[in-house]
Amino acid sequence: MYRLSSYFLATTALLGALAFAEPVALAEAVATATEAPQSAPAIRVAAVTRHELIETLDVTGSIVPRQEAAVGVDVAGLIVRQLNADKGDVVKKGDVLALLDRTALETQLVQLDASKAQAEAAIAQAKAQVSGAEVGVRQATETLDRARALQQKGVAAQSQLDNAVNGLDSAQAQLDSAAKAVASAEAQLGVIGAQRRDVEERLAKTEVRAPADGVVLARNATLGGIVSASGGPLFRIAMNGELELAATVSETSLAKLRTGMPVKVNVAGVDPLDAQIRFIDPEIDARTRLGTVRIRLPAHDSVRSGNFARGTIETLRREGLAVPASALLYKGTEAFVQKVVDGTIRTTPVTAGARAGAEVEVTGGLAEGDEVVSRAGTFVTDGDKVTPVRDIATGAVAK
């Protein structure tokens, strides 16, 4: 365009200079200016090149524990007597994190031991009564046998036989009563044993222990505080100290992701971390239309639960033909480029593939080495003559 303007300015100046010349000379000058060749406008073009294409997806989210353990007790009403762990401490499975007051439970244990001794004594007494009742039954049986024998001989009266029968029934009743007393005392001893085991379990729970190795994220227990069932966990632990990025992803992008894909994670104040997708949530939030991706992070002292983080997920890496994204024109869902053939614009349909940064993969319609207008549709249309100006660098992702 600049060259055309220069041409017309020069022609105008020439005509002005010859305004006072001879008519024949003026006619020759006009003819010379009119017949001068017009050069085609310069347009920047980019070559279709083959190289490695890398497509990425940026996500954001918060750092969370991979697995979290809530440490609490079901022993209500006890006072926290000692604290052995605080937020940020690294603990091992079985470590005592806190001690609760044991006085009341130990008193109950002493009372149960006394009740156990009483029950054992009652059992011994009942068993002695059983032995005595058994002797009484034998004696009553012998008396009945003699009374029957005498009555058969006609020596004993019927009343003597009746008394013997009643004596045996009474002795048998006493034996049954003594046996039931033994069973009752033994049952009472079983109840006391169960109560004692319950108190022993509650005593064991006064030592609040870590259920797994990890890092203490929160400590809700306070020295002298009373433990209650509704008070929530006393401690929260990130199991094994493993942290990960819980990132939100739009439902349209979620289909591109697979477990194991590499991710670069950026946390404030920390060098980029090499990570991987561990888990893709199978459910989409119906309100936000977002899904969640869990990205496993390497161990790092400066990364903490609750940190905000950004992740760049590599969704594609392959060899292919590519052109600048600005070289594509779209009509509906169809893509076109302005291909330059022998200095002439040819609008050519193409099949677009993956987008990698400032480039778009072309899987059909172009060959390696073809030239296209870098910024399509801006200055030229199909059939225009142009002078190609080749890009030195197209912004391609180097292999």
Q: What is the CATH number of the domain that holds 92?
A: 2.40.50.100
- Count how many domains the chain has: 4
Q: Are residues 79 and 225 in the same domain?
A: yes
Query: Over the stretch 293-303, which tens digit does the pLDDT of each residue have?
Result: 999 999 888 89
Mean pLDDT, residues 158-165 taken together: 72
What is the percent of the chain with per-residue pLDDT over 90, rounded to a whole number?
A: 36
What long-range pairs does 118-127 form, CB within 8 A, spacing at least 24?
119/185, 119/186, 119/188, 119/189, 119/192, 120/189, 122/181, 122/185, 122/188, 123/182, 123/185, 123/186, 123/189, 125/181, 125/185, 126/178, 126/181, 126/182, 126/184, 126/185, 127/178, 127/182
Position 351 in a domain = yes
Mark whether 354 and 376 lie in a shared domain. yes
- Per residue in 46-87, pLDDT (tens digit) is 999 998 888 889 999 999 999 999 998 888 888 999 999 998
Confidence of residue 276 (pLDDT cuts 50, 70, 90): very high
Same domain, 126 and 194: yes
- Residue 328 is assigned to a structural domain of this protein: yes
E strand or H helix at 217: strand 214-219
For 91, the domain range is 67-101+206-237
Reduce the DSSP state of residue 209 to 3 states and report it: strand
Pick the closest to residue 208 from 109, 78, 67, 305 (CA basis). 78
Do 95 and 213 sit in the same domain of this protein?
A: yes
What is the token pair recorded at 105? 């439970």
What is the rounded average pLDDT of the residues 1-6? 40
- Whether residue 10 is predicted with pLDDT greater than 80 in this model: the reply is no
Q: Which of 121, 123, 117 is nearest to 181 (CA)?
A: 123
Q: Are 159 and 220 within one domain?
A: no
Q: Are residues 355 and 210 in the same domain?
A: no
Together in a domain, 192 and 165:
yes
Kindly tell me if the per-residue pLDDT of 96 is higher than 80: yes
In this structure, the answer to whether residues 113 and 90 fall within a common structural domain is no
Boundary residue ending a domain (237, 260, 278): 237
Closest-CA residue to 265 (of 231, 302, 230): 302
| Mean pLDDT of all residues belonging to the chain | 83
**Reported confidence tier of residue 310, pLDDT bands at 50, 70, 90:** very high
306 in any annotated domain: no
138 lies in the same domain as 71: no
Report the C-alpha gap between 263 and 367 in whole angstroms: 32
Half-sphere exposure for 174 (CA within 13 Å, toward CB): 18
Residue 247 in any domain: the answer is: no
Task: Let me know whether 88 and 217 are in one domain.
Answer: yes
Length of the chain equals: 399
Q: Do 210 and 185 fall within a single domain?
A: no
